[in-house]
Amino acid sequence: MPNPNTLYARILIDELARCGLRAACLAPGSRSTPLALAFDAHPAIQVHSLLDERGAAYFALGIALATGQPAAVVCTSGTAAANFYPAVIEAHHAHVPLLLLTADRPPELRGSGANQSVDQVKMYADHLRWFVDLPLPEWKPPPQAIRHLRTLACRAYAAARGVPPGPVHLNLPFRKPLEPTPLPGFEPPPDLLARPGGQPFTRIPPARPLTTLPDLPLPPRGLILCGPRCAGADFPAAVAQLSAATGYPLVADALSGLRLGPHTPPAPPLSPLIASRIPAPDLILQFGAAPTSKPLLDFLATLPPTTRRLAVAPYPLWPDPAHTLSDLIVADPAAFCRALIERLPPRAPADPAWVAELRAYDSAYWRAVQRAADEGFFEGLVLPEVVDALPEGGLLFVSSSNPVRHLDEFVPPGGKRLRVFANRGASGIDGVLSTALGVASASDAPLVLVIGDLALYHDLNGLLALRRCGLNPTIVLINNDGGGIFHRLPIASFDPPFTELFLTAHGLDFAPAAAMFAARYTRVTSRRALRQALQTAIPAPTPHLIEVRTDPRHHERVRSKIEMRNA
């Protein structure tokens, strides 16, 4: 190795690969040259080259979402690192493992007025699991310094996968030369102190909370609530068995992993939208994050003190904006379900009349949705068509704002198994496209992204990854010409200033954007045309942008009518 920068970068990246790192997203820049070259040279790591830092960070976030393993994102110094921040916030709140490697100026240039120099020390504040400002590469590093690099890489990878998972920031200062230029007199150490057989220098398994069961009488009126991001591949089967054993109905958020697929309980999960009609139960067993549905959140906020509500979470984090929890149990959710089943009496405790009442409400809701669908096309029917068109095992990414709510409101449970993703940690609309493309890059399954016009506008330059990374997703754009979700809010009745300050109509035509980034483009205005476009696009070897023009006012009228019919 020709100089200290090359040596340090290659040792660090080699150790990250030994720990399990398999994907890195690189944004171009000068100061990060040693890192970029070290990643590119490592045979075990797939490198994605992306042109802007915000998109690169969200792309890495998508890879980590799809794989459950940390992905790395690399940038140069200055405002480049600041552009990682929105994705850092999302990863922090959504518990997504992410490794941020930011190159930095050497200490003598910090705070000196040097070009492209900003304070990068702890720049992501408390949105991290761990931060390290690394020392400068040494000319003659002692063995302890090399061991420090390797153990630091192991600790960083473990922290990203920790309890809970999240982003880790390594800030790496470099002096010139940044390229692999040989420096006279530099001799790399004869032993780089790597473990034999490609093993990591230090093994750090993820911590696992112990499963403990409190005294838990099981009354006849009980519910199982599964919110977004229910943890563990074995959880759906375990909670389905618990629902069957107790007889308690399961209320499943669209992002829970329980709504779509054959792993649902013998009776389909209930829709969160019927929460306004459910009498207060005596017991609620809650898994996952706080639910998406506002009616369900309102229901939880009005529970009487007599309702015992237990949240079971793998991390000691608070999943209750309503503050009506009676118990927070830190335990592996699947193990908790299995342990509770073992303690159950032979006969299920649920009251059949109570269960029948809830299922009657649920059936009435879906009949109201079907009646609205029979009366004509509206925005809420986009998601049912997408779910119907995707093949078994397909990937569905839904944007924040309206699309994730449409999935909850208009797609009934059951059916084929799909993996559903969304940026619901901080629920922002920035970076949605790039995150979805990161998910697509980590799987061979077809992906459909359903996104609103403002969210696509926010991340339009992310479309360049289609060509650079060889991706062919189907992007379904719901274009209601502005912030359609604001029609749900009371401010909609105050116009002006509603249209100018909140709806923010833009009048953009997205066809030129599709052409600019080499995606096929189709515009549809009917359910039949959307169905035909999806049938063409999903199996195609090229990316497609399907624009669905909708009227948000009409959608709100239909949605209100469904609520009235279900009241």
Question: Per-residue pLDDT for 207 more than 80?
Answer: no
More confident call, 5 vs 278: 5
Structure tokens, 544: 């497609």
With a pLDDT cut of 90, the percent of the chain lying above it is: 80
pLDDT at 211: 63
With CA atoms as reference, report the closest residue to 134 among 76, 174, 165, 161: 174
Q: How confident is the model at residue 447 (pLDDT cuts 50, 70, 90)?
A: very high
Question: Per-residue pLDDT for 9 more than 90?
Answer: yes
The H or E element containing residue 337 is helix 333-342
pLDDT at 114: 82
Q: What is the dihedral of CA 240, 243, 249, 251, to 10 degrees?
A: -40
Question: Per-residue pLDDT for 399 more than 80?
Answer: yes
3-state secondary structure 443-458: CCCCEEEEEEHHHHHH
d(CA 255, CA 257): 6
For residue 309, give the 3-state DSSP assignment.
Answer: strand
Asked: is 4-178 a CATH 3.40.50.970 domain? The reply is yes
Structural domain boundaries in the chain: 4-178, 222-359, 376-566
pLDDT tens digits for range 51-88: 999 999 999 999 999 999 999 999 999 999 999 999 99
pLDDT at 49: 97
Q: Give the range among 144-148, 391-395, 399-403 with minimum mean pLDDT.
A: 399-403
pLDDT tens digits for range 121-155: 999 999 999 999 999 999 999 999 999 999 999 99
**Please, which residues bridge with residue 225 across strands?**
251, 286
pLDDT tens digits for range 307-323: 999 999 988 888 899 99
Q: How confident is the model at residue 493 (pLDDT cuts 50, 70, 90)?
A: confident
Question: Per-residue pLDDT for 31 more than 70?
Answer: yes
Mean pLDDT of 225-252: 92
pLDDT at 567: 64
pLDDT at 500: 82
pLDDT at 345: 84
More confident call, 118 vs 495: 118
pLDDT at 117: 86
- Asked if 222-359 and 376-566 have one fold, the answer is yes
Q: How confident is the model at residue 96 (pLDDT cuts 50, 70, 90)?
A: very high
Q: What is the DSSP string of 391-426?
A: PTT-EEEE-TTHHHHHHHHH--S-SS--EEE---SS
Question: Per-residue pLDDT for 304 more than 70?
Answer: yes
pLDDT at 513: 96
CATH class label, 222-359: alpha beta
pLDDT at 378: 95
Q: Give the range among 230-244, 379-393, 397-411, 451-465 with minimum mean pLDDT.
A: 230-244
User: In terms of C-beta density within 10 A (0-12 exposed, 13-18 middle, 19 or more buried), how is residue 564 classed?
Assistant: exposed
d(CA 480, CA 547): 10
CA count, 13 A, side-chain hemisphere, 507: 1
pLDDT at 346: 83
More confident call, 19 vs 209: 19
Which of 17-26, 185-194, 243-252 is the most confident on average? 17-26
With CA atoms as reference, report the closest residue to 365 among 412, 415, 296, 301: 412
pLDDT at 210: 64
Q: How confident is the model at residue 398 (pLDDT cuts 50, 70, 90)?
A: very high
CB 70 within 8 A of CB 64: yes
d(CA 425, CA 292): 11
Q: Is the dihedral of CA 450, 406, 415, 264 positive or negative?
A: positive
pLDDT tens digits for range 498-522: 788 887 788 999 999 999 999 999 9
How high does pLDDT run on average in the chain?
93
pLDDT tens digits for range 418-433: 999 999 999 999 999 9
Question: Per-residue pLDDT for 212 more than 70?
Answer: no
The H or E element containing residue 349 is none
The model's pTM is 0.94
Provide the CATH number for the domain formed by 376-566 in this structure. 3.40.50.970
Mean pLDDT of 239-252: 94
d(CA 241, CA 262): 13
d(CA 382, CA 527): 8
The residue to which tokens 């393993």 are assigned? 69
pLDDT at 350: 92
Q: Give the range among 114-118, 144-148, 468-472 with minimum mean pLDDT.
A: 114-118
d(CA 11, CA 453): 44
pLDDT tens digits for range 270-284: 999 999 888 899 999
pLDDT at 532: 98
d(CA 522, CA 221): 50
User: In terms of C-beta density within 10 A (0-12 exposed, 13-18 middle, 19 or more buried), how is residue 491 classed?
Assistant: middle
